[in-house]
Structure 1
Amino acid sequence: MGLGLVPLGLAFGTLITQSGLDWWWASLFTALIYAGSFEFLLIGLVTAVAPLATVALTALLVNIRHVFYALSFPLHAVRGRPAKAYSTFALTDEAYALTSGEEARSWSSRRIMWLQALMHLYWAGGATAGALLGSLVPDSVTGLDFALTALFAVLAVDAVRDRRNDLPTPALALLSALAARLLFPGQMLLAAFALFTAALLARHLTAPKRPTHA
């Protein structure tokens, strides 16, 4: 997964320079923000000199999914306040995908921290290299901003394969996304999350209760 972030970082860094920003913006974004999807959007916001309120609202809508990640991320296994603070900061989609499985429940604090730190390093290093080498990429090369979408598609496929007995969940996610695209095209992300959350709550409330044993 970490090695997969390298070409993604290269694409991000190249996109930085192609947008007219200096190369060091890639290092700054990846080191201090570290939110891949939002960072791609932030390039356009910065180049358009968007108001700070717009940037803040965009960050909230794009990253609100991390609230749900925190419900099952093994933060309790991370020891020490500084380590917990960094682990919370470095809770990315990739880190969550790797730590939400059955095998990860027995992982130590050290392993979780190294996992997150190495992925952060791969992402920042790849982006910096891409920005420094971005001038070598012809302007005719397009589709670099699709690299992140491709990575999310791979993560989704792996999640479905890991939970073959829970097919209703990805089905609900797909239906929520389609409904949001049709009904709320201007606010698709927020609407999709709201519909998906409502669907999960409804399924939980209507599911038959498991018998308890005294």
Structure 2
Amino acid sequence: MAFVPLGLAFGALAVQSGLDWWWATLSAAVAFGGSFEFLLIGLVVAVTPLASIAVAAFMVNLRHVFYALSFPLHRVPGRLGKAYGTFALCDEAYALATAEKARSWPGPRILWTQFFLHAYWTGSATAGALLGSLIPEGVTGLDFALPALFTVLALDALRDLRGRRGDLPTPLLALSSALVARAVFPGQLLLVAFALFTAGLLARHLLTTTRRPCRA
């Protein structure tokens, strides 16, 4: 249900930025890339070249490549179901479907979860766009709805990691990667942070494998 206020904020922000209401609906239904869609509003308003928008989309959504490595898409039945599951793979769907309690979920439940997330996002974005004209121009902070949602997802992930041996360094590694990227490459924070995080995970995996005693 967190998608509802987030979609309302996105739709209202799109209208307040000078875009038509249907733009929010089309973006939510076709792009379905929450964090990138917030960024896309500013890019469209600034008439950014298409090539620059494509590069930005690649950098922001690069995390989905890593999501696919552990997302239980193999449980989703049928080619059409897998195709939609790939399209509708978002942060919230990944957080729900890969949690400890979701390991017993059948494929249809995973697919329905993604469908309802998609429907909530599209419907609430449309409602926010249609009602956005009722929000006074002096209201600020609508764009903070997305960081707030990611904060909640991060806290839920930390709770899920509690009690697992060896998993505590993972969020610390992610935080340190983000801080280093912010200090050294502030203009390309997301891409550099993911590169550092991936390198750190690979290095930790190699060290763990090397230290593990061989069985006779």
Give the TM-score normalised by the residue count of structure 1.
Answer: 0.96
What is the CA–CA distance in structure 1 between the aligned matches of 2:195 and 2:111, rounded to whole Å?
31
What is the CA–CA distance in structure 2 between the aligned matches of 1:209 and 1:140, rounded to whole Å?
59
Equivalent residue number for residue 175 of structure 2: 174
Equivalent residue number for residue 195 of structure 2: 194
Q: SS at 2:103's partner residue?
A: helix
Give the drift of 1:99. Answer: 0.7
**Contact (CA 8 Å) 2:71, 2:94: kept in 1 or not?**
yes
Equivalent residue number for residue 95 of structure 1: 93
1:27-38 to 2 correspondences below 5 Å: 27-38=25-36
Give the drift of 1:109. Answer: 1.5
Aligned residues: 211
What is the CA–CA distance in structure 1 between the aligned matches of 2:171 and 2:183, rounded to whole Å?
18
What is the CA–CA distance in structure 1 between the aligned matches of 2:33 and 2:122, rounded to whole Å?
11
Equivalent residue letter for 1:146: F
Q: SS at 1:79's partner residue?
A: coil
Kindly report structure 1 stretches of 4+ aligned residues shifted beyond 3 Å.
210-213
Equivalent residue letter for 1:42: L
- Structure 2 spans left out of the alignment, 5+ residues: none
Give the drift of 1:108. Answer: 1.1
Equivalent residue number for residue 160 of structure 2: 162
Task: Give CA-to-partner distance per residue, 1:75-126, whole Å, 9 cap, x none.
Answer: 0000101110000000000000001122222211110111000011111110
Give the drift of 1:204. Answer: 0.5
Task: Give CA-to-partner distance per residue, 1:116-141, whole Å, 9 cap, x none.
Answer: 00011111110000000000000000
Equivalent residue number for residue 109 of structure 1: 107
What is the CA–CA distance in structure 2 between the aligned matches of 1:198 and 1:149, rounded to whole Å?
25
Equivalent residue number for residue 131 of structure 2: 133
Equivalent residue letter for 1:205: L
1:2-81 to 2 correspondences below 5 Å: 3-81=1-79
From the superposition, tell whether residues 182 and 112 of structure 1 become closer, same or farther in structure 2 (CA, over 3 Å). same
Give the drift of 1:209. Answer: 2.3
From the superposition, tell whether residues 212 and 144 of structure 1 become closer, same or farther in structure 2 (CA, over 3 Å). farther
What fraction of aligned residue pairs are identical, expressed as a percent? 68
What is the CA–CA distance in structure 1 between the aligned matches of 2:17 and 2:26, rounded to whole Å?
15
Task: Give CA-to-partner distance per residue, 1:147-205, whole Å, 9 cap, x none.
Answer: 00100011001101100231100000010011011111111111101111111111000
Equivalent residue letter for 1:135: S
Give the TM-score normalised by the residue count of structure 2.
Answer: 0.95
